[in-house]
Structure 1
Amino acid sequence: MELKENQPDMPDPTGIDAYAAYLPAYALTDNRLDPTGPPRAGGPSRSVAAYDEDSITMAVEALRHLAAGTPAGRQLLLATCSAPYEGKTSAGVVHEALGLDPGVGAVDLRGHRAGATALDLVLRAGALAGLAEVRTTRPGAPDELAQGDAAAAFVGGGTAAAALLARAGHTVELLDRWRLPGDRHDRVWDERFTADVLVAAGLDAARRALAEAGLDGVDQVVVSSSNARAAATLRRALGGSGDDASIERATGFTGAAHPGLLLAAALDQARPGQTILLLSATEGADAFVLAVGDAVAAARRGPSVRAQLADRRQLGYGRYLRWRGLLDVQGPARPAAPAPASPPMHRRAGWKYRLEGSACGVCGAVTTPPGRICAACGATGSDGSGTVSLRDRTARVVSVTRDHLTTMPEPEVAIVVADVDGGGRLSAYATDVVPAEVTVGQPMTPTFRRLWTTDAIHNYFWKLRPTEESTDGQ
C-alpha cells in the first residue's frame, strides 16, 4: 500500500460521509429576574431544549436521517456531559429508537472532550456518532446565556462531506469545568488562568496538524472551547473569520456537542475542495484538518444550522426556569404519572422506541399499537402481517384535546389524534407548539421525547410536532 506524502500513519482516505445538526425550537435572550426594560439589543442568546428533551432525544433527532443501513460491526457513540442515566448506557436508548442492527455497538462517551473524541472515531474508524447536550447553570449565573443545548450527528466510512487530512492532540490535566456526582451544575475555575493553558495547547495541536497536512493555512478555521477567552484568542491567532463565533453567540457553548455543531455549520457553507481546520480546546486540544468533499451539499441531512437558528421562538425566563425545575411552582392536584416497567418496555420495544405498527397481510391496513389481529379486517398475524415504522411519516390531526391538568411543567398541553399517511392512527401529545394553535388537518411529524420521569425511570415515547410539507430538507 502506497502511503500519502506527509501522512505516514493514514492508510486509506477516511472522513465524514454524512452529517446533520439539531437545534431545539427555543431561544433565551433575557435572563433577568426582575426586568425593568427591554433586553440589551444585540446581546447573546442561548439555545434551549424543551422540557421534554434531553441528550438522548436530541441525539435521536440528529441521527434519525443518517443512521439507516448502519452495518453490524460499527459503533454508535453518544458523546455528552448530560447523560440522563448514570450506570446505564444511554446510547442503548438511542440505538433502539433508531432501529439499528443489534450487531451495532452502543457506547457512551462522557465529558467535555467527548465530542472531539467522537469525531476522531467517526473520521478514522467510520463510527456513527451523536453529540448532544443540555446545559444548565444556576439562575442568573454570569455565563447563563453563554451555555446552550444542541446536537450534531456524523457518520464515517466515506468522504462525501469531508476527508481527514491530518489530526493532532494535546492532553493537559486542567481544572476548568467539572461536576461532582450528584451536582446539577458545572463548577468553573477562573477563566483567565485556564485560557492561557488552553491557548497554548490549542496552538500546539493546530500547528502540528497543519504541518502533518503539509499546509500553511486553510480556507476556514473553526474553534470550539469551553473557555470563551481561549476561543477568541485562538481564532485571532489562527486567522479565523469569526463565522463560528457568530454561531456560538446565537447558541451558547453546547458542551460535548459544540465542536460538532460548529463543524456542521462550516460544512453547510463550504465548497468542494476547500480546507477546514477544526480545533477543539477543552481539557487540552484536538485539531483536525479536513478537505471538503465533492458531495458535501448532498451529505447534509435536514435543515442547515443557520436555517434552524432563524426558525427559533423566543422563550420567557420564567418558563425556562420551570422547564429546568429551577423554579418550584404548584402543579395540579393529581398524582404523578406511573413509571414504566422493564418487562413491557422490552416486549413492546418496537412500538415504544421505533413507533412500529402492524401491517395486515390481507387488507394492507396498519394497526397501532401493533396487535395480532388487524383492526380493519380481523385477519390474524398468521395471514402474513408484518411491521412498519411510522416515525418518518406525516400524520394529520383529526381531533384535538387541551389538557389543563397535566403534570408536565406547562399550564396546558395538547393531545391529538392523527391519521398517518399510508395507514395507521396515533394518539399522542403535541409538542413545540402552543396548544391553542393546533388545528384539525394540521400536518405533524413524530419526534422522540421524554414523557415524564417517575421513580428514577425516564419514560420515552413519540410525540407529534408541526411540520412543513417540504421534501427538500432545506
Structure 2
Amino acid sequence: MNGNGGIISYGAYIPRLRLQRSAIFAANAWFAGGLKGLAKGERAIANWDEDSVTMAVEAARDCLTGIDRSTVTALSLASTTHPFADRLNSGIVKEALTLADGIASLDVAGSQRAGTSSLIQALNAAANGGTQLCVASELRKARPASEGELVQGDAAAALLVGAGDPIARFIGSHSVTLDFVDHFRASGADFDYSWESRWIRDEGYTKILGGALAEALKSLAVDPAKIDRLLIPISARGVPEGLAKKLGVRPEAVADTLAQKVGDSGVAHPLLMLVAALEQAKPGETIMLVGFGQGCDALLFETTQAIARLPKRDGVSGALARGKADDNYMRFLFHRGLLDLERGMRAEADQKQPGTTLFRNRKTVLGLVGGRCTKTGTVQFPRSEVSVNPNDRAIGTQEDYPLADKQARIVTYTADSLTYSPAPPQYYGTIDFEGGGRMFAEFTDVDDDAVEVGRPMKMMFRIKAVDETRDFVKYFWKAVPVEQPGAKEKSDG
C-alpha cells in the first residue's frame, strides 16, 4: 500500500535504571543455569512509578520539542500493556500533553506489531490532512528465571506524522497477517506463554518474515542493495543479519537492535529503532522498518533535507546517556509486583480517587497547568480565582499557565524514611519554576548525593499512587534532577 506525507518529528523515552543481566542470572543460577548465555549486557527497567502511559507521555514530549501542539489533530497509543482495559489510555496521554479537546484519540493493542500497524494507518491518513502523534510504549512482566526476564526491556517511542515538509518521506508499506502464535497472553494474565524458540526462528522469522520482506521489496519496487538502514526489531542472535543476507541487503545496513543496552521493548521496539536510525540518518537515505507479530509490517521511508533542520531532542541517544547501572534484583521484583514485601501500616492509606474531582481538575492534575494573573503577571499553582500576589489580590484575572515544560530549582527538601515509599527514602520539597510559580512536589529518579538546594529539576509525568482496592492508577507530576552525576556508576541498591 502506498502512502503520502511522512514523519515530521520523533522522540523516545527509556527509563533511567538499567538492570544488569548478570545480577538476574546470579540470583537464579541455582535453578536456571541454562540462562547463562543471556546474562550479558543490561535491560532498561521502569521505576515503580512508571508504566506504559507515563513512558508514552515522556516520549511524546520529546517528540513535540519545538512543535506547536495545537497542530496535532489525532493521537494513538500502541501497547499490549495498557494500564486500563476500559479507560482511554491515550486520553490520559492527551491530558498530560495539554492537547486540544477536539482531537481524535485511539488505543491500539493485540499484537507486537501494533506500533507499526498504527503508524501505517496514520501515514495513510495523512493524505487527508491533519497531523497525528503515534506513540508506542511497553512495560511487560516476565516470570522470574525466564528468558523473557533477561531479554525484555521497557521503553517508549513517538513519531509525529503528516503532510507538508517531512524529515522522512513515506514511500509505502506492505503487510501480511497470519495467526502465527509464537507466544500469547490471555486477558488478565500477567505473563506470556511462548513456544519453542527454534520453531519460531525457522517457521516465523525465516519463512513468514523472510517471505513477507521479499514480497515487500517486490511490491515497493526497491532494490535491496540500495537500502541504507534495515530495522528488524528481533533480538534473537543472527536473525536480522541472516534475513538481510537472504534478501540481498548489505550487511552494514542492518541496524543495531539495542538488545544489549535496552532489551526487547515489544510494541515500542520497532518505533524505538526507527527513532535511533533517524537520529543518525542523513538526507537521501532509504530506511526499511519491520514489525513482526501474527504477520508482518514493512514500511519504507526516504529521508529528506528537512532532517538536518530538525531541532535537537533527547531521542534514543539522550535516553541511553541518562542510564544508570543497577544490580538490585530484589527491588526490581518488588517494583514489578512479583515479590510481596511487608509494607507496614503506613502503606494502608485509602487511595480512592473521586472521578468527579479528577474531571473538574484534570488540567491541574494531569496537565500541570497553573495560573498566571493577567494583571500582575504572578504565576501560581494551582490556579484559583484569587491571585496569590500579596500586593494585589486580583479576582478573576487568571489565565492557564502550563508548567510541565518549565525548569525548576529546589528551594527546600526532605528525605523521609518514615512514610511509606516503594523506593525509600521518599524525597519531596518545594521547587520554584523559572518565570515564576512555586509548588510542593515529590522527587523521583534521585540519588542521595543528587539532592541539594538550588539543584535544577525538570518535571516528569509519573504514577502518584495506586488504589489497589479499586484497581485505579493515580497520575501526577514529579520533579527529577536535570543532570545525573555518575550516571554510569552502579546504584547503591
Common fold: TM-score over 0.5: yes
Secondary structure of the residue aligned to 1:209 is helix
Confirm whether residue 129 of structure 1 aligns to residue 144 of structure 2.
no
Alignment of 1:22-421 (within 5 A): 22-29=13-20, 30-31=23-24, 32-33=26-27, 43-67=40-64, 69-70=68-69, 74-111=73-110, 112-126=112-126, 127-158=132-163, 159-195=165-201, 196-217=203-224, 218-225=227-234, 230-231=239-240, 233-238=242-247, 239=249, 240-241=251-252, 244-299=255-310, 302-315=313-326, 316-334=328-346, 335-377=348-390, 378-382=392-396, 384-421=397-434
| Letter of the 1:144 counterpart | E
CA distance in 2, matches of 1:35, 1:188: 21
Residue 276 of structure 1 contacts residue 290 of structure 1 at CA under 8 Å; is this kept in 2? yes
- Sort the Cα spacing of 1:66 and 1:381 in 2 relative to 1 into closer, same or farther, 3 A: farther
- Sort the Cα spacing of 1:51 and 1:430 in 2 relative to 1 into closer, same or farther, 3 A: same
Moved more, 371-380 or 271-280: 371-380
CA distance in 1, matches of 2:10, 2:283: 15
Residue 70 of structure 1 contacts residue 104 of structure 1 at CA under 8 Å; is this kept in 2? no
CA distance in 2, matches of 1:403, 1:235: 54
Secondary structure of the residue aligned to 1:256 is helix
CA distance in 2, matches of 1:353, 1:388: 13
Please report how far the alpha carbon of residue 278 of structure 1 lies from its aligned counterpart in structure 2 after TM superposition. 1.1
CA distance in 1, matches of 2:314, 2:18: 17
- Sort the Cα spacing of 1:147 and 1:361 in 2 relative to 1 into closer, same or farther, 3 A: same
Cα RMSD (Å) of the superposition? 2.4
Secondary structure of the residue aligned to 1:418 is strand
Q: Deviations over 1:428-467 (max 9, x none)?
A: 1111112453110001001000011113111100001011
| Letter of the 1:443 counterpart | P
- Sort the Cα spacing of 1:427 and 1:287 in 2 relative to 1 into closer, same or farther, 3 A: same
Residue 241 of structure 2 contacts residue 254 of structure 2 at CA under 8 Å; is this kept in 1? no
Please report how far the alpha carbon of residue 342 of structure 1 lies from its aligned counterpart in structure 2 after TM superposition. 0.5
Please report how far the alpha carbon of residue 370 of structure 1 lies from its aligned counterpart in structure 2 after TM superposition. 1.1
Please report how far the alpha carbon of residue 34 of structure 1 lies from its aligned counterpart in structure 2 after TM superposition. 6.2
Residue 80 of structure 1 contacts residue 256 of structure 1 at CA under 8 Å; is this kept in 2? yes
Please report how far the alpha carbon of residue 231 of structure 1 lies from its aligned counterpart in structure 2 after TM superposition. 4.3
Please report how far the alpha carbon of residue 71 of structure 1 lies from its aligned counterpart in structure 2 after TM superposition. 5.3
CA distance in 2, matches of 1:184, 1:125: 34
Please report how far the alpha carbon of residue 192 of structure 1 lies from its aligned counterpart in structure 2 after TM superposition. 1.6
CA distance in 2, matches of 1:431, 1:183: 29
Residue 12 of structure 2 contacts residue 157 of structure 2 at CA under 8 Å; is this kept in 1? yes
Please report how far the alpha carbon of residue 188 of structure 1 lies from its aligned counterpart in structure 2 after TM superposition. 0.8
Q: Deviations over 1:407-442 (max 9, x none)?
A: 331121100210000111021111111245311000
Residue 4 of structure 1 corresponds to none
Secondary structure of the residue aligned to 1:276 is strand
| Letter of the 1:328 counterpart | D
CA distance in 2, matches of 1:100, 1:110: 22
| Letter of the 1:33 counterpart | A
Please report how far the alpha carbon of residue 364 of structure 1 lies from its aligned counterpart in structure 2 after TM superposition. 0.9
- Sort the Cα spacing of 1:41 and 1:287 in 2 relative to 1 into closer, same or farther, 3 A: closer
- What is the aligned counterpart of 1:426 among 429, 439, 443? 439
CA distance in 2, matches of 1:57, 1:286: 26
Q: Deviations over 1:338-381 (max 9, x none)?
A: 22211111111111011111111222111211111111134344
- Sort the Cα spacing of 1:314 and 1:468 in 2 relative to 1 into closer, same or farther, 3 A: closer
| Letter of the 2:459 counterpart | P
Residue 447 of structure 1 contacts residue 463 of structure 1 at CA under 8 Å; is this kept in 2? yes
Confirm whether residue 460 of structure 1 aligns to residue 460 of structure 2.
no
Please report how far the alpha carbon of residue 242 of structure 1 lies from its aligned counterpart in structure 2 after TM superposition. 7.3
Please report how far the alpha carbon of residue 180 of structure 1 lies from its aligned counterpart in structure 2 after TM superposition. 1.1
| Letter of the 2:76 counterpart | L
Secondary structure of the residue aligned to 2:233 is strand
Residue 9 of structure 2 contacts residue 160 of structure 2 at CA under 8 Å; is this kept in 1? yes
- Sort the Cα spacing of 1:149 and 1:78 in 2 relative to 1 into closer, same or farther, 3 A: same
Q: Give the TM-score of the pair, scaled to structure 2.
A: 0.87
Secondary structure of the residue aligned to 2:55 is helix
Unaligned runs of 5+ in 1: 1-8, 470-474
Please report how far the alpha carbon of residue 322 of structure 1 lies from its aligned counterpart in structure 2 after TM superposition. 1.6
Count how many residue pairs are aligned between Structure 1 and Structure 2: 457
- Sort the Cα spacing of 1:166 and 1:242 in 2 relative to 1 into closer, same or farther, 3 A: closer
